Every structure is written in C-alpha cells, then in structure tokens.
A and B are shown apart, each in its own frame.
Chain A
C-alpha cells in the first residue's frame, strides 16, 4: 500500500464524514420540533415572543443554519463535541461512557457470530443437500427471520421465570472494574445479536465454501493426498474468506449504531440508547456528534476490512 493510496483513502473518509454530518444536521432540523418543544411539550405554545426569543438564543437556534453547522463542525475539529443541554454533561464524556458498552457488545456478538456462523456454514456445505445441510440452512433462515426483540424477550422471559435471574438487574459494571460481572451483563444481549449475525455469516460461508470447493486447486490438493482437514481449512475456507470478511465488516458497522433495541431491553447504557434519547429530546449536539463518531467507526472498519483483504489474499493489492 503506497502512501499515496493511504492519503486518498483518508481524504475519501473525510469527505464521507463531512457528508454524513451535513445530512444528519439537516435531517434533524427538517423534522418538526426543536429543543424547546421537546423540553416544554404542549407548554411551549404558551411562551411569549420574548421568552421564545431568549430560549432560542440560549439553545443557539437563533443563528442561521450555515452558522450553526460550521460553528459545530469547527468545535468538533478542535475536539469539542458540544454539551448536552438537559444534563449539562459534555458530549465527549457521554460518548466516552456509552461507546465502550456498545463496542464490547459488538465485539462479543462478533465472536459469537463468527464462531457459530463459520462452523455451521462449513458443516452445512460439507453435507450439501443432506439432512445436516437442511438443518444448517434452517438455522440460517430462522436466525435471519427472528427479530432481535423476539429473541431478546424470549431469553429474558426464560431467564427470569426459570432461573430467577435478570441479566441487567444492577448498575452497569465496566469490564475493567469486574470482568465477570461485566460479562454477565453483556453476554446475553451479545448472544441475541450474535445469533442474527451467525445466520448471515453462515449463509455467506456456505455459498462461498461450495464455490471454492469446486475449483481445480482443491481437487489437486486432494490428489496430492493432503489430509481432508487440511484441505478443508487451509485451502477451501481460506480462499472463501473474502466474502465472509466483507459481510462481517458491514455487519460490525451496523452493530455499532444499531444495537438500540437490545440495549433498551437489557437496560444497557450504550450508544444506541444515547442517540435515541437525544433524538427524542432534540439534543442536536448529542445526536450530531454521536452519529459522527458512529460513522467514523464505520469508515474505519471498512478500511480495516480492505486491509484484511491483502492479508488474506496476497494477490489483492491497492495502489
């Protein structure tokens, strides 16, 4: 990878992030209501024009949109993500609290998804059109078709009625404070996300595996007398990895921003919930900055995936 390539990618990433921030900024202002109506509800209509003007000045809503956009962006560039008006906390501290929760959740879900997805995918592909293939495919379909909230409700109901246990009864515990307690809280929501992820990965793995398995070099490898296991893992799976890594990268990106429902049901104070409450309260700074961070993570994961391609397949080069 040349330096020129890296610079181009970084430039593209910046343009993407700028685009995202403008879109989020505009969408937030196009939907009806602002921080004032969100806070005062029906009482907002009883404000006198002077009260309204002073509140608008307080929330910075009196300035032209372009000024609002660039003053926010200018602050972001200097590392100031803004302040939450309701709680008075800085947005960076809010994200600092919420990001690790979601990151860990996404990472655990990824581990579960990859382990289950790849093993069931290979298992299914090797017995193509047999009973075990059908079983594997059924898992895939069921995993894709079951909405997160159904699986989450099911797990919560079984745990609480059968085992007298609710995973998030206590306050959230950070991993470095007590790894075991932290895992108890994160593992169940991660399982819910992981199963859905496993279904997608399983289907990709199965089709990629089947495709590679028919190629000449596999026959050659077998002809050389290599043990079947070596053929399976080192030859077929390794060459089937590119689509698997691609789909995993995309899904991981979604996990960073899209764990809202699971966070709600398990009571985890993650990024999804931060954005959701902020949208309800029309906390512009919080929504804009958090979405920007999520988008940046997405871009980063994509770059990582591209980099992984060159590791998996030396034929892939970027210049």
Chain B
C-alpha cells in the first residue's frame, strides 16, 4: 500500500491481470486482447488525456509510478506508450484507434516506405505512432513487415511499411524519441526494482555452506552495489518524467528524458548481471521469472537510443551553451518550465 490511491488500484489491476503466467502466454503467441481489454476497461489508459478531451487529465509526473509498476510486472503490452499516444492524438484533434499503440521513430527508405528499428512491443501493438523527421504518422502494424529483434519470446520488432500509407497526424507537439526515452526509462527503473527485490529475497532463502548466501559478504557487497544502481536509475527516471508544462501535461522535457535514458541504460548491464549472479543456475532457466525482467532490461536499454546516444546528445546540448557542467546541471534540474537562455 502507498499513500497514492490511484497507484494502489493500478497495482491491484496489474496483480489481477498481468501475472507472470499471463506474460508468458502472451510472449509465446497467446492472445493479448483479454489483458488489453481489462486494462482499457479500467480507464487508466485515458489518464493522461486532458479533462477537456474526456480524460482524467493527470500529468506525466503523476503516472510515473504506474510506468514503474508496469516495468516491475514485465508488462507485455505498450500501456505506457498508449497512454501518451491517446493524450497526444486527442489533443491534436485526431481519431484514436482501439487497441495498443506503440511509439517509434522511423526513417524513409528509397521507395518512400517507412522503417522503424527496435520498436518495443512491436509484435503486440495494433498501431504505431511514428515520427519521421518533423512528421507524425499513425500506422497499422498489420500492414507492416515485422521482424523480431529480441531473443526467444521477446516482443520488440523492426517494423517496415513498404508503401507510403498511414494517417498523417498534424500538430502533435514534442519529440517522440524523448517521449519514448522517458517512458522506457521508467519501465527500466521498475524492472530493476523488482529484480533487486527478488534478488534480496532469494539471497535470504537460498542456503549454501549451511547458511543463506545473503550472509556472505561477497554477495552483500554485490547486492549493495546493485541497489545503488537501482536507486540511481529510479531517481533519473523520475527526473525524466516531469511534464514540460509549457507544452502540455504529458510530454517530458527533452533534456530530462536524455538524462533519464542515459543513466537508466547505463545501469542495465550491471543490474542484470548481478541479479543473475545471485540467482545462480536457476536464474538462467525459462521457468524462473528473472529472465522476464532481465530480457526486458536489455531490450529497453537499446530502445530509443542507449547511453552512448544520449551521452552524445547531452554533450552537444551543453557545448552549445557557454556554461559549466555544474551550472548546466543546476539549471536543467530546476522544475520551472523551460526558460533556457542560449547565451
């Protein structure tokens, strides 16, 4: 229980509808419609849609803990992305299609088709909201060539629409790569929190040499270092989910998103590696839930750019201004709406 009643009921919904066995069933090709219908019927999917447009009018900051909960549950459908897409489409005056909507950035191929790489939930989404340079397109995934890019049971895919098709969505403000980075970062934080929790529990249960392995300093030191990374990622992700109120309530500030994705992606390998080290051989079996989470961490690290992409992005951002590192950091962390002075 938390002191956030929305979060409590959201968590209850996930506990009831998104158990590891349901996640596995969907990952192995089972239908995701029942899960999606349950999520959609709950009304949570319209949380970010402003009240004037028939939604709950919550802000990105408010739903950050939900994204974290989705990450912890190894959510097999793009709930967070659809929440954003509905808010963006409604406010832009576009029709909102039913079914899960994933987000992607894409490039045009030589024949005018559209190509999107490493799209999270690409295999289970009905639609994709795609940004190509300045343009936005809503595209049915049924018309795309879908190629799995994850390992067995992974849901990420390359999507390729050979023809120039889809619905053009004008006047959506904000940058989809930043949105994707922000939402995925919160999912990374969630998966990490769950992995840490599991690893601690396992270390306290698993006995070797006559005592729980969590009593050994070698294990304790590793779990502490893991916890540091998890807390850092959670903090960065929270920074990344602050709405740019100068724009609207559901779009992050690009620099926040950059910091979040850089830091969260940076922590992925260390966190996943330690979780596996603690779990030993059982952790690399299909039956153990650890793989549901570590697989997502590795996938999400890559989605919407990894740490190197965002480090470079941030480095260029800083070099474009005549400022020190410390002042750049202090100014960009201030919660006031973007008042950047490019001196």
Co-complex (A, B): no
Contacts from A to B (Cβ < 8 Å): none
Contacts from B to A (Cβ < 8 Å): none
